[in-house]
Amino acid sequence: MSFNLIAEAQMQAEWQDLHSELASARMLVELFPVPAEAGESDAIGISVPLRAASEDVWAELVVMLGALTRRGMRVYDLQAGREVLSFEELRRGLWG
C-alpha cells in the first residue's frame, strides 16, 4: 500500500528546474508525471510506500512538497480528497 498525493501546476511550470531540484532530494518517495488533458493542468503524482514510512521518508517528502508549493503548485491528498494546507496535518494522516 502507499499514500498518494498529486501536485497540480497552476501555471506553466519550469519542469527542467523542478526536475533538477526534486531528483537531488528523491530517494524513497516515488514521483510520476500526470500529463494534462485538454484544458487541464499538468501534475506530478507522488507515492509514499507505507512499508517504508519513517522519519527519512517524511524529511524527503517535506523537501519535495516545499519545492512544489514554492512553485505555486497545489498538493492534494488523494485518500482524503482534499488539498494539503498543512504539512503537520498531512503527517498525522500518514503516521497517525
Q: Give, for all 96 residues of the chain, the pLDDT tens digit.
A: 788 999 998 766 677 777 777 876 667 888 888 877 777 778 899 998 877 778 888 888 888 899 898 888 999 999 889 999 888 888 887 766
What pTM value is reported for the model?
Answer: 0.82
Cα distance between residue 96 and residue 89, in whole Å: 10
Cα distance between residue 15 and residue 34, in whole Å: 13
Say which DSSP state 3 is in.
Answer: E
Which grid coordinates belong to 90?
498531512
pLDDT tens track for 62-78: 888 998 988 889 999 99
Q: What is the pLDDT of residue 6?
A: 92
